[in-house]
Amino acid sequence: MSSALPSRSSAGEWLSIVAAGGAPELGRSSSRHGAGVRFFGRERPSVVAGRHHRQSSVGGAEDDREPQGSSSLARSCIRMVQVVETLLRVLPWLTTTLAANVIHYRSLFSARQEGRRHFIESAAALSSRRHFPGSSPDEHELLTFDLMQSAIMRKARYKIKVVHYSSTVLYVALFYAFLPELHLDEFVPGLGTAEGLVVGLLSGLVTILLDENRLGDMRTTWRPGVDYESRFWGFVWDAIRILCASSTPIEDCLFYHSWLYRVLVQSLSDDIEFESFTDVPLSMWSWTAWLVCNSALALYNGKEWRSSMLSGLLSLWVTARSGQLLDGVLALSVSRMTVNLWVVLTGQRQFW
């Protein structure tokens, strides 16, 4: 049984309280969701209702109106809160995606330059150039697909994975206090947790059955023992991949299921007006938002769109049923660990 962590307020709550002229209370976790809404598996009182109405009494009592300057400051603070809350959930996905692309294209450029150099050296070593229809190295460049099999590009995959894993873990460690949906002290294990385990195992088995990279044409195969010509480094890299498999679902769930899903629900909701996407409880359901945000996840994963979409749909379904993001994170983690275990047992590294 883990020890309870101290309660924390999110960044948005702190800024909202300060904007209202109050002081944030340490050790008190508050919720801004509507009264009676099931949030994180508990019934909790609301601090800020989702819909704001200004009602006047029948007797003609005057409304409590705030000074114009105070209301402008409050609106500015609310907008700032919304930006901060969005960045907290978008930055992990955005930074890892940008870093991966920078490493990929820098490595691709280096591989192309090395290919040119090899061609020039080969051409200079021949006594006659009649074997080459042209003298410019640009006419004999390898295609990008061929360059992907080069040593430089194969090793680039390991750099990308290290950056991906380490940046996600570091981000969560730094900003955990401002991401209430990840708080372990708010997490209540229950039926949703059991559903996450079952759903994760199911989606992992379906991913194995689909075997979308059976031809090995989607990416360079993960073979660190061959690429580094060392059984030791092969074991180390495999261990890193297996142990860190549970970090990337946090990034995906924050971006697609905590931010994008709730933004879509907020925009599609007709009967409730939410001030911010963080006011939308994770247990609030929308078929359209469910399909759209996981379609975006599927498109991002390219040819593996079927298994990615299935895993995302099931993970978000678990999250909405329990109202806890961590149940969805658990489902994705179990799915990926199932695939990892299959690779270790069978040696079918096309899944990596």
Domain membership of residue 53 (yes or no) is no
Q: What is the mean pLDDT of residues 58-72?
A: 56
Please tell me which residue, 26 or 224, carries the higher pLDDT value: 224
Least confident piece of the model among 50-59, 72-81, 151-160, 174-183: 50-59
Cβ atoms of residues 257 and 314 within 8 Å: no
Domain membership of residue 39 (yes or no) is no
Domain membership of residue 300 (yes or no) is yes
Least confident piece of the model among 8-22, 72-86, 138-152, 326-340: 8-22
Using pLDDT thresholds of 50, 70 and 90, give the confidence band for residue 13. Answer: low
Domain membership of residue 65 (yes or no) is no
Range of the domain at 309: 85-91+178-351
Domain membership of residue 154 (yes or no) is no
Domain count, the chain: 1
Domain membership of residue 326 (yes or no) is yes
Task: Indicate if the pLDDT at residue 220 is higher than 90.
Answer: no
Q: What is the DSSP string of 32-99?
A: -SPTT-EETTEE---SS-SS------TT-PPP----HHHHHHHHHHHHHHHHHHHHHHHHHHHHHHHH
Tell me the per-residue pLDDT of 87-138, one tens digit each, with 9 for 90 and over: 999 999 999 999 999 999 999 899 888 888 877 777 666 655 555 454 454 5
Cβ atoms of residues 24 and 14 within 8 Å: yes
Domain membership of residue 38 (yes or no) is no
Please tell me which residue, 144 or 261, carries the higher pLDDT value: 261
The encoded tokens of residue 317 equal 């379904």
Task: Indicate if the pLDDT at residue 16 is higher than 60.
Answer: no
Which residues share a beta bridge with 140?
A: none
Domain membership of residue 211 (yes or no) is yes
